[in-house]
Copies of this chain bind each other. A is one copy, B any other.
Amino acid sequence: MALEHAILVSLLERPGSGYELARRFERSIGRFWTATHQQIYRVLKRMEVDGWVVAEEIGQDRRPDKRSFSVADSGRRALVEWLRAPVQPEAVRHELAVKIRGAAFTDEAGRAALISEVERYRADHETLLYTYVNGEKRDFLDRESEDVGQRLQHVVLRGGIAYERMLLDWLDDVLATLRAL
């Protein structure tokens, strides 16, 4: 598993509570590793038991108290060790591709419905691309003065942007192909 390690990276970048982590997984980290808050709390508990992270109770005035987590030495060592291990081959699950090949086995109306779905999917990813591009403009203005962490976050974001651009081009190809059937 790598959720532990994604959490370690996120907490090393900045300590935070389970709730804050969950919100980060909806945004930045979640672009390449999704997780729900339930899963995060469960894994966080295990990591605390294993001594990878330590919690600090923080009482808050206008909000419920929270437990802010930081990475302990053994957690950092675990991360460094994991970084050295070979990258596991990804488990690809691209539902849309299955549906496109499945379109050969439905009727005209079914294909029309799929075209609508692809259009909606394309619009969502176009929005996502703009979000990324705006985030890049906002957070990575001056490439020369970036520190190590920022450079690495930036190159990962550039990957997201490249992916979304490639996806939009391909979706146009898909739409043209479906419409021409």
- Which residues of A are in contact with B by a Cβ distance under 8 Å? 2, 5-6, 8-9, 12-13, 29-34, 76, 79-80, 82-84, 86-88, 90-107, 110, 113-114, 117, 120-121, 148-149, 151-156, 158-159, 162-163, 165-166, 169-170, 173-174, 177, 180-181
* Bound Cα distance from A111 to B132, whole angstroms: 26
> What residues on B are CB-neighbors of A162 within 8 Å?
166, 169-170
* Bound Cα distance from A32 to B90, whole angstroms: 10
> What residues on B are CB-neighbors of A76 within 8 Å?
105
Determine chain A's interface SS by DSSP, over half rule.
helix
Assembly stoichiometry (copies): 2
Q: A70 CB to closest chain B CB, in angstroms?
A: 13
Q: A3 CB to closest chain B CB, in angstroms?
A: 9
* Bound Cα distance from A97 to B174, whole angstroms: 27
Q: A88 CB to closest chain B CB, in angstroms?
A: 6
Instruction: Check B151–A105 contact: CB distance below 8 A.
Output: no
> What residues on B are CB-neighbors of A96 within 8 Å?
87
> What residues on B are CB-neighbors of A181 within 8 Å?
148, 151
* Bound Cα distance from A79 to B102, whole angstroms: 8
Instruction: Check A79–B105 contact: CB distance below 8 A.
Output: yes
Instruction: Check B97–A83 contact: CB distance below 8 A.
Output: no
* Bound Cα distance from A96 to B181, whole angstroms: 38
Instruction: Check A117–B87 contact: CB distance below 8 A.
Output: yes
List 29 contacting pairs A-B, 8 Å CB cutoff, sorted by A.
A2-B93, A5-B98, A6-B98, A12-B105, A31-B92, A32-B93, A32-B97, A33-B95, A76-B105, A79-B102, A79-B105, A80-B105, A80-B110, A82-B99, A83-B99, A83-B110, A84-B113, A86-B120, A87-B117, A101-B156, A151-B177, A155-B173, A155-B177, A159-B170, A159-B173, A159-B174, A162-B170, A163-B166, A165-B166
